[in-house]
Amino acid sequence: MKQNSSVKYGAAAAIAVIAIGTAIASGKLFDVVEPETDSSSASGGKTTEVTVAKTGTGITVTTAEQWAEQYPNQYETYMANSENDEVVEYTETNPYITTLYEGYGFAKSYGSARGHTYVIDDLYATGRPHKLANCFTCKTSSFTAAALNDASAYAGNFDDFKSSVEDPFGCFHCHENTPGEMVVTHTYLADALGDDLESVPGQTLSCGQCHSEYYFDPETKATSFDYTSLDTMNPDDMLEYMNSLTDTEGNLFADWVDEDTGVRKIKVQHPEFETFLGEGSPHASTFTCADCHMGETTADDGTTYTNHYWSVPTQNEELYEASCAACHGSISDFQAAVKATQDETTAREDEIGQALADFDGELAQAIADGKIEGEDLETVRMLCRNAQWYWDFVFVENSEGVHNPTLTKKCLDQAESILEEAKSYLK
């Protein structure tokens, strides 16, 4: 979910790029198991190897609370994510999105992400309607286990599953039931990357399970990715993929259709994973998500462990010194550079977003007046769909340009160029 720049720079700037919350299973859809005695360490060191969770029946969840005694430092730090409790309503701060998302839930309610210990609370409180259980995909370990046990869980009823969920997702998402090991429990990520999975560090794959662009398969309703390798994991090929996809009725896939213009629109979802690993990324070859958003901490007793309070280097000097200082000098200079990038990105987002919204109105009026129809109308509709895709790819990406300034600029340039082409049909 998009972060507002005013949130980033304020006290609540410790926005998670991945987050874990407490998960307490009700046992209605799976069994909860107690932690087994484990001699492995959950602290320190990059883990490049990763295991993909097996699907089948009988998959169980050990909750975060159950690991708390054995791993008190990790548990205490991820519970500290509750400190990040500020919410910004984007339909108020960016009112043009009510036009761009008209006919879709995000036009009614679009709150900023906060500490992921709140993910279930926020899911229930949102003004957006939820029909299917697939909305729980990244919200709770209970659904992760349910989907591993039976893929039909994605098509289940939201309210039916709701009665089985008590807390946000926990350790299971990234470690299954073995702290210290990196496990891809959201197998759609492994399916999308194929053999390339092995080339991505586990600490980045863990984040990529949820902080990524996805869609719900029209037939199975399963959470799915719109690429099939690292080479096709870019906005151009992903859009081509979406533009080749049809729904169960044979129509071009769309998350929703704008009733005023007939544009079959796609809603991009927080593509941090794709942006961070995308062409032009200044850090993907050197760092993982965890390097810049978790880091290692030494407890009072001298124990070194991976900090599970998700933060950002601009607001966390320990993270900055460990991962950024060698290349970026003083933290004040770094903060100024980050702010400049985010300010520039936000300004262009708003400018292009407003232009897209204005053109939506112009197109609707032209259709009502009979000034455009037939092949020209279908061409403009596709141009609008594509332009909004590239704009939204940046608008909903949480770093506001910092993860990959090159790709960010390219997407905004493409959105602007495609919009200008669409405008030429109404002159």
User: 80-107 pLDDT, tens per residue?
Assistant: 999 999 999 999 999 999 999 999 999 9
Residue 182 · residue 172 · CB < 8 Å: no
Query: In 3-state terms, what secondary structure has residue 252?
Result: strand
Residue-by-residue DSSP string for 188-248: HHHHHHGGGGGGS-HHHHHHHTTSS--EE-TTT--EE-S-SSSTT-SHHHHHHHHHT-B-T
Cβ atoms of 157 and 132 within 8 Å: the answer is: yes
Give the SS3 label for residue 272. helix
CA dihedral sign, ordered 99, 266, 232, 272:
positive
B/e letters for 395-410, b = 16+ CB within 10 Å, e = fewer, are bbbbbbbbbbbebbbb
Please compute the mean of the pLDDT values over residues 345-351 and round it to a whole number: 98
| pLDDT digit string, tens, across residues 141-156 | 999 999 999 999 999 9
12: pLDDT strictly greater than 60 = no
Kindly tell me if the per-residue pLDDT of 167 is higher than 90.
no
Q: How confident is the model at residue 179 (pLDDT cuts 50, 70, 90)?
A: confident
Quick one: which H or E segment has residue 305? strand 304-306
Using CA atoms, how far apart are residues 411 and 413, in angstroms rounded to an integer?
Answer: 5
Q: How far apart are CA 121 and CA 125, in angstroms?
A: 6
Tell me what pLDDT residue 32 has. Answer: 35
Percentage of residues in the chain with pLDDT exceeding 70?
88
Distance CA 366, CA 261 (A): 9
Alpha-carbon distance of 81 to 118, in angstroms, equals 9
Residue 92 CB-density burial (10 A; 0-12 exposed, 13-18 middle, 19+ buried): exposed
Cα distance between residue 64 and residue 226, in whole Å: 31
- Domain locations in the chain as residue ranges: 5-329
Distance CA 16, CA 294 (A): 9
Q: State the greatest distance between any 2 C-alpha atoms of the chain, in Å, as a whole number.
A: 75
pLDDT tens for 188-242 read: 999 999 999 999 999 999 999 999 999 999 999 999 999 999 999 999 999 999 9
Helices (H) and strands (E) in the chain, counts: 19, 8
pLDDT, the chain, mean? 88
CATH homologous superfamily of 5-329: Flavocytochrome C3; Chain A (1.10.1130.10)
- Model confidence at 113, in pLDDT bands (50, 70, 90)? confident
| Higher local confidence (pLDDT), 61 or 235 | 235
The confidence band for 126, taking pLDDT boundaries of 50, 70 and 90, is confident
Among 109, 114, 144, residue whose Cα is nearest residue 13: 114
